Amino acid sequence: MDMVLVAEPKQVVAPGEVLAEGDHLLGDNAYRIGTKIFSACVGILEVDGNRVFVVPLKGGYFPRVGDLVAGRIVDIGLSGWLVDIRAPYEAMLPASETPGPRGPRRRDLSTSYEVGDMVLAEILAFDRTRDPLLTVKGPGLGKVASGRVVEISAAKIPRLIGRKGSMISMLKKETDCQITVGQNGVVMVWGKSPESERVAVEAIYMVEREAHTRGLTDRIREMISRSRVVEQVAGTQTA
């Protein structure tokens, strides 16, 4: 049967808008009634071969097993901690999923993490019947002792990382900061100075705001170098 695209790819579509007619494969946020395919959210229409899907412009984080997330400890329970990962479900980090001694010496959980602490963790398990389960056993995971916490829309994380990591690599290099991107929209930033951290934070918000525009990478690089000029000038003036 004929496959016809009704909406324009790379353009914004609204819920209920007709995307296509025909035997296309349905990707994320596309559904079918009869021969017509409709969008289920506000987003950008993408077509990949004969697969039609919509990339949402907004939306919270929906947990996926294997994702790296940055979360905040909100409660200490008997056998673990409750972690806010900015998702519709609160996550659980069991003590058994943290490195360290086992047994009776490990009585007081608050010696490991306190309420308010930030942790980098991986989603170990999640399905429709239970809340996400986290682990911090792994390289680079665990309590975050310093740095800035930046919260952006999880939908913009792919743009922040960029094709083959191009955007995030550029950001790290240009701002001279260490940046860890949580799939849940929480980004950790460590810089050598508060000033360089501020520039990195500003750049991350800029990606969130202008994610679906052309030439973003260059504009951000521009913004960062302008900020550094200001910084240097300010530096020489106070010196």
Partner 1 sequence: MNKLPEPKQPEKLIDDKGLRIDGRRLDELRPIKLEVGLLDKADGSAYIEQGKNKILVAVYGPREAHPKHIAMPERAVIRCRYHMAPFSVDERKNPAPSRREMELSKVIRESLEPVVLTDLYPRTTIDLFIEVLQSDGGSRCAGITAASLALADAGIPMKEMVAACAVGKIEGKLALDLSDAEDKYGEADIPVALVPNAGLVTLLQMDGHLTLSEFEQGFTMALEACKTLHAMQREVLKKKYATIKEAAEEREEAEVVA
Which positions lie near partner 1, rule CB under 8 A? 11-17, 29, 31, 33, 38, 40-42, 56-60, 88-90, 128-129, 155, 209-210, 212-216, 219, 222
Nearer to partner 1, 129 or 236 (CB): 129
Nearer to partner 1, 42 or 68 (CB): 42
Instruction: Give min distance, CB of 236 to partner 1, in A.
Output: 27
Nearer to partner 1, 143 or 221 (CB): 221
Instruction: Give min distance, CB of 32 to partner 1, in A.
Output: 11
Residue 64 DSSP one-character state: -
For residue 23 the two structure tokens come to 């035997």
The CA distance from 71 to 144, in Å, is 10
The CA distance from 110 to 112, in Å, is 5
Judged on CB neighbours under 10 Å (0-12, 13-18, 19+), 136 is buried
Contact assessment for residue 52 and residue 44, using Cβ atoms and an 8 Å cutoff: no
By C-alpha distance, which of 82, 143, 93, 150 is closest to 123?
93
Contact assessment for residue 179 and residue 168, using Cβ atoms and an 8 Å cutoff: yes
What sections of the chain are H helices per DSSP? 157-161, 166-175, 194-209, 216-238
Instruction: Give min distance, CB of 26 to partner 1, in A.
Output: 13
Instruction: Give min distance, CB of 209 to partner 1, in A.
Output: 7
Contact assessment for residue 162 and residue 204, using Cβ atoms and an 8 Å cutoff: no
Instruction: Give min distance, CB of 150 to partner 1, in A.
Output: 16
Instruction: Give min distance, CB of 30 to partner 1, in A.
Output: 10
CA dihedral 93, 96, 100, 102 (to 10 degrees): 150
Instruction: Give min distance, CB of 175 to partner 1, in A.
Output: 20
Nearer to partner 1, 3 or 40 (CB): 40
**How far is CA 115 from each of CA 99, 124, 214, 232, rounded to the nearest angstrom?**
19, 21, 41, 39
For residue 92 the two structure tokens come to 């659980």
Nearer to partner 1, 105 or 128 (CB): 128
Nearer to partner 1, 89 or 205 (CB): 89
Nearer to partner 1, 141 or 152 (CB): 152
